[in-house]
Amino acid sequence: MPYNAVTAAARLSIAPMMDWTDRHCRFLHRQLSRHALLYTEMVTAPALVRGGAMHLLDHHPCEHPVALQLGGSDPVELRHAALLGAQAGYDEINLNCGCPSDRVQSGTFGAVLMRDGARVAECVAAMRNAVDVPVTVKCRIGVDEQDPETVLPEFLARIVAAGCERVTIHARKAWLQGLSPKENRDIPPLDYDLVMRMKGLFPNLHISINGGIETLDQAEAMLEAGLDGVMIGRAAYHQPADILSQADRRIFGAGPDTSAEAAVAAMLPYIEAHLSNGGRLHQITRHMLGLFAGRPGARGWRRTLSEGATQPGAGPELVEAALECVHALAPQAKAV
């Protein structure tokens, strides 16, 4: 994919989320938006380089534009991992400097790297030299007692000088002691204004904002306010059609709206193929539970799938049966 096309896609991206944005989830999201940039779950550089876990790079050709997020802090290892990612066909390599989990801290990955901008810069430079695709960073505004007003601009200046051309800022601190990863996504307060000020300080740096954005209206407002991109995580996972089905028209000005129903139809052959390769239905349908969120029949859809998809032999007919719950309560059906 051309370099600029990936940057254009970053106007709206779906966040990397461990255990959530796997390849099945990304396939579903791609049925809803042709243009949004999709991120993988974090893949650690040691898993690829030392563990040889190449299956972690598997993805479907339709997922593009798709970015690989790496975790790590060793420039040599990250360089190698970035190369493997680019060879596997990813359109961008992103370094995780925002994830606060203990496991990740002990490996010196993620948010703890906000304390060591010099090392992050080394990592970025090493990856930048290894690949032709964009190298980007996802970070927080700071950690623990750090003062984001000083730490964040210093951090950004270092990574830009090292060749990072795009950054996504989760607009809250990570508190590395005492909060679970989940609490660290909600409790430290959001500071959108600080991210806006970074755009003023770094006008040539493509900055995406992340954290707490729950609607496409909010995303549009952020773009109108001057930010280059918006990254959405949990809202896109829990209500994928609400976030993505109008995104191509409203965010990218290109393309018709899609629908949850059309996405389901596109998922059926994908499900068939997965099952015939020995996969299980719930591995895909667990990501589809929120497709009809807020619509009549959503509860029946969700219940039918969550109760039935783990049963032995469950297949696409369960998805069709779940869809009946939505159709049965659709306004035109009620009127008949």
Ligand X SMILES: Cc1cc2nc3c(=O)[nH]c(=O)nc-3n(C[C@H](O)[C@H](O)[C@H](O)COP(=O)(O)O)c2cc1C
CB of 269 to ligand X, least distance (A): 28
Contact 218, 239 (CB under 8 A): no
Helices first, then strands: H and E counts in the chain: 17, 8
User: Which window, 17-25, 58-66, 247-255, 304-312, contacts ligand X (CB under 6 A)?
Assistant: 17-25
Q: Which residues of 46-72 are buried (b: 16+ CB within 10 A; e: fewer)?
A: bbbbeeeeeebbebeeebbbbbbbbbb
One residue of 85, 100, 117, 211 binding ligand X per CB under 6 A: 211
94 is in an annotated binding site: no
The site map against ligand X for 109-148 (x = CB under 6 A) is -----------------------------x----------
Q: Which of 130, 135, 232, 305 touches ligand X (CB under 6 A)?
A: 232
156 is an interface residue for ligand X by CB under 6 A: no
Q: What are the distances in angstroms from CA 240 to CA 137, 234, 258, 299, 323? A: 24, 9, 11, 16, 16
* Residue 137: strand, helix, or coil: strand
Contact region for ligand X (CB under 6 A) — 56-64, 232-240, 256-264, 306-314? 232-240
Sign of torsion over alpha carbons 59, 60, 61, 67 = negative
The residue range among 4-12, 13-21, 251-259, 297-305 that interacts with ligand X, by the rule CB under 6 A, is 13-21
Catalytic residue among 99, 123, 139, 325: 99
Report the C-alpha gap between 256 and 245 in whole angstroms: 9
- Tokens 């190449």 belong to 54
Nearer CB in complex with ligand X: 27/237: 237
Is 99 designated active site? yes
Which of 98, 297, 300, 316 binds ligand X (CB under 6 A)? It is 98
Enter the tokens of residue 310.
Answer: 């783990």
Please choose, from the candidates 284, 289, 286, 310, the residue with its C-alpha nearest in 3D space to the C-alpha of residue 300. 289
Q: Which residues are annotated as a binding site?
A: 16-18, 69, 138, 170, 210-212, 233-234
**Which residues are catalytic, by number?**
99
Please give the residue ranges that form the binding site for ligand X (CB under 6 A). Answer: 15-20, 41-42, 69, 96, 98-99, 138, 170, 185, 210-213, 232-235
